[in-house]
A and B are shown apart, each in its own frame.
Chain A
Amino acid sequence: MPIKLKRGSTNLMQDVYGLQENPFRTAPIYSIDRRGTYVPEMYGDQYDEFYQKFFLNPLTKASNKQVIGALWSTHSGDSLGKGYGKSMLMAEESMQINTDLGATKLRKFGVEDADIEENPFVAGYCTFDQAKDVKSFAAALLDAVVFILESSDGDRALHLKLRERICQRIEAEEGFEGESIERALSKELRRYRGLNIQLTHATVRSFIERLCHDDTEELVKFIRHEIGPRVKANQGFNFVHIFNAFLMLAGIVYVVYFVDQIENFAKFARNQERDLKILRESICQTSPTAEFASFVFQMHIQALQVIEDWWDNIEHLPSLDASKPINTMRIVDLKGLTTPKEATTLAARYLAEKRVLGFRVASELHPFDEDIVEAIRQAVKGNPRKFLEQLGAILDNAADQQRKKIDLPFVQPYLDDDSSETNVLPEEEEYTNPER
């Protein structure tokens, strides 16, 4: 139970603003363990573009579905492009897709039921995380595998659902389902001559065994804690290939791996050259991954600067540069809150989550109004994270100052303060002395 402070007779937050507490966090940075409120409407047109480029277009192809793309935020109002909701979009959509193998999403985009039935797909999300020792692509993608396995439709883990589909498809012997799947998986893996996996390797064998049996918790524990960092770095992609073969056996036709915080790879990875070679070979040259799995990387200008040296120049991986028109079909550029509607929807959804039960409000934006929300959207130049931070700070200040009505004159000084955090791009003007 949180503490209560003695502040006169009125608890402004509850009694006047109609909120259980301030719904806006000081630093709304996404993490899977602290997901926050997800409002897909805030992405505007880019939401559909995200599905079109990374899912619908690939699914129209019979083979060679792979996209190596990027989710960008190049928005000129914020030269760093952070806080545009890239991580949240990747992770939350992956979770939603995995609940019913993408059926609801395809239906939303007008795909016919028969096609939906024949085209189940999944998506995984992972991030380079120094703290968790996820410093190589293989380790990161293995995290995405766990993400997919653990995804749930609210009833059971996707791992079990995939397993069940395999049992039906291979007509597994009752009581010996795990063994039947293992046999089928080994057979499937042997189909790919380029796939050089040592199936007798103790860790590989243990992984396959757990993947094929029905204890998801044990499988996840094994991947997280029993595959050591060295094995992850050296053989991690093999586990991903095995998992992809497992997905194919379950009739999954397509998988997208979203990779977040790619600039951390450049900062922390010890053997970048080796890792990149393995990455290129694994994602572009090795079946079944090369035809069936897409890889979408989170990008912003700082990340591009960090990786540009080695990405396309050294390893000839497909360029992720958003400024090159040739890459358009593989890149989605989030623009932030471009319309007042996107901003009001985002604010209203956050406020609704903390609204005091039964509290009657004239507007769903109460204690704010549309003018205030629009003024904030403009002041932060559409950056969703800054927008939420501003709303939270203003709400805290209003409550602290016992301000019953939050109006524009009250809000303005806080916006002025933000406008001083310049988002102006560097001047185009050149001041240096030209070469003689």
Chain B
Amino acid sequence: MAADTDSLPRIKLEDLFLTIREFEKDPATTLERLRCRICVNRKHKLGGDLYWSTARDNAIELQRLGLLEAGSFPKDKKAYELMKEKQLRITPEGNAVIALFRSDRSAAYDGLFKAMYAVHPYLRSFVKAVMQHHLVAPVITSLKDHVSSKYASAKQLSDDVAEKQLDTEGLLSLTEKRIQRPLTPAEVSTILSAIRTLLEESAYGAISEEPIDFTKKFLLKLNDIVLPNVFRSMDLAFDYRTHRTLWGFGQEWKLWQSTSAHPDYDGRVVHRTATIRLALQGESVESLIYDSGLKNTGENFLFKLYQAYLKLKNTYVPAWSLRAVFCFDNLCQDSVFDKLMEEHYTGSDEYDLQLEIHRQKGQHDRPLRIGNRNIGLVRVVRRQL
């Protein structure tokens, strides 16, 4: 069990810097001005209360880190209207972060990681786990492939749930296959118990809601049952959204990353991309070592790429699968791979790269882009010298 409860903000780390820099002009500002700043940054209209909760969540986190002082924050939109002009004041520590960000952005991100590590127990648990071994999260996104082959349509699922039924055997067996280990009796028991409660709560919704809408919500709730339970032994028994938030943070910090494109894993694989040295029995961070950054990973890049390509055992391989295998093997970020591909796509005397442009949209959330093109398929050929 996680030792403490925690509330990780569902924010983007760059928004924290964006928000705090609003205090550069004036040591005191308001939530409303923070909100407007976010709207402008995202190219959205300032009118109404768009991003009010984003502004609030960022301000709450900054206060938690001791970078600003504000007191209480609004819980809902109505309260926001009353509190939006309330003054927020930057602290000396906050000013130091702004100065550091201006002089060295990388150092500011590192500092932010250390500060958040100190105040967020979930983050600490996660870091300890991911530094030891990669994680495989059996995120449920497909009814048929991840819940049970019995459910070919949303209607079949909602019919079952309406009768407080679910093919739990199918779900458990698919989950075991996906995490590549058997579930322990304790895990099985807590999952089944949580599913029973979920079915009690969801039966009415299964009758009254559109099957597709209902299924989407139901899958999210199943994720909140399965993920905490399969990760409980690693002290990561928190909900799916928290896991997702942590995966996103890692990519922003360049410390770990997640991918669903690795062909050997039917789920999301999370692996470290740097070394985090901990101190004081894991209570604080001693140093961050980016040992698989651009420079290290770039050495002999085409050879490493060829090794990853061979693992996919096909002539033309999907660019995102190749990237996932490469990043997993070399413990690097997608962004590092993308940059190196951009540099090396013309090949060398030893290796020839053949790229096929990917024209359809939406197949992958982070397409590999080289020049102005999305790359769909890649072939790496070792020339006979």
B39 at the interface (CB under 8 A from A): yes
**Given the complex, which residues of A lie within 8 Å of B73, measured CB to CB?**
none
B357 at the interface (CB under 8 A from A): yes
State which size class the interface on B falls in. 35 or more
Instruction: Say whether B359 contacts A310, CB under 8 Å.
Output: yes
Dominant secondary structure of chain A at its interface with chain B: loop
Contacts known (A432-B14, A435-B294, A435-B339); A424 close to B372, Cβ less than 8 A: no
Chain B min CB distance to A416 (Å): 10
Instruction: Say whether A431 contacts B14, CB under 8 Å.
Output: yes
Instruction: Say whether B44 contacts A422, CB under 8 Å.
Output: yes
Q: What 0/1 pattern do residues 418 to 432 of A give for CB contact below 8 A with B?
A: 001110111101111
B18 at the interface (CB under 8 A from A): yes
Measured in the bound complex, the distance between the Cα atoms of B18 and A430 in whole Å is: 9
B99 at the interface (CB under 8 A from A): no
Measured in the bound complex, the distance between the Cα atoms of B46 and A417 in whole Å is: 9
Nearest A residue to B112 via CB reads A433
Nearest A residue to B113 via CB reads A433
B362 at the interface (CB under 8 A from A): no
B43 at the interface (CB under 8 A from A): yes
Specify which of B44, B45, B373 is in contact with A313 (CB 8 Å cutoff).
B373
B336 at the interface (CB under 8 A from A): yes
A364 at the interface (CB under 8 A from B): no
Specify which of B13, B43, B335, B359 is in contact with A426 (CB 8 Å cutoff).
B43
Instruction: Say whether B47 contacts A420, CB under 8 Å.
Output: yes
**Given the complex, which residues of B lie within 8 Å of A435, measured CB to CB?**
254, 293-294, 333, 335-336, 339
Instruction: Say whether A434 contacts B106, CB under 8 Å.
Output: yes
Instruction: Say whether B106 contacts A422, CB under 8 Å.
Output: no
**Given the complex, which residues of A lie within 8 Å of B336, measured CB to CB?**
435
Residues 1-59 of B at the A interface (beta carbon under 8 Å): 13-15, 17-18, 21, 39-47
Q: What 0/1 pattern do residues 390 to 426 of A give for CB contact below 8 A with B?
A: 0000000000000000000000000001001110111
A436 at the interface (CB under 8 A from B): yes
Instruction: Say whether B18 contacts A431, CB under 8 Å.
Output: yes
Specify which of A313, A420, A425, A433 is in contact with B106 (CB 8 Å cutoff).
A433
Measured in the bound complex, the distance between the Cα atoms of B43 and A321 in whole Å is: 22
**Given the complex, which residues of B lie within 8 Å of A425, measured CB to CB?**
43
Instruction: Say whether A436 contacts B40, CB under 8 Å.
Output: no
Measured in the bound complex, the distance between the Cα atoms of B44 and A431 in whole Å is: 18
A217 at the interface (CB under 8 A from B): no
**Given the complex, which residues of A lie within 8 Å of B45, measured CB to CB?**
420-422
**Given the complex, which residues of A lie within 8 Å of B105, measured CB to CB?**
430, 433-434
Instruction: Say whether B357 contacts A433, CB under 8 Å.
Output: no
Of all A-B residue pairs in the complex, the 7 with the closest CB atoms, nearest first, are A436-B293, A436-B290, A431-B14, A420-B46, A420-B47, A433-B109, A421-B45
Name 13 interchain pairs, CB-CB below 8 A, sorted by A: A309-B359, A309-B372, A309-B373, A309-B374, A420-B47, A421-B45, A422-B45, A422-B46, A429-B21, A433-B105, A433-B106, A434-B105, A435-B254
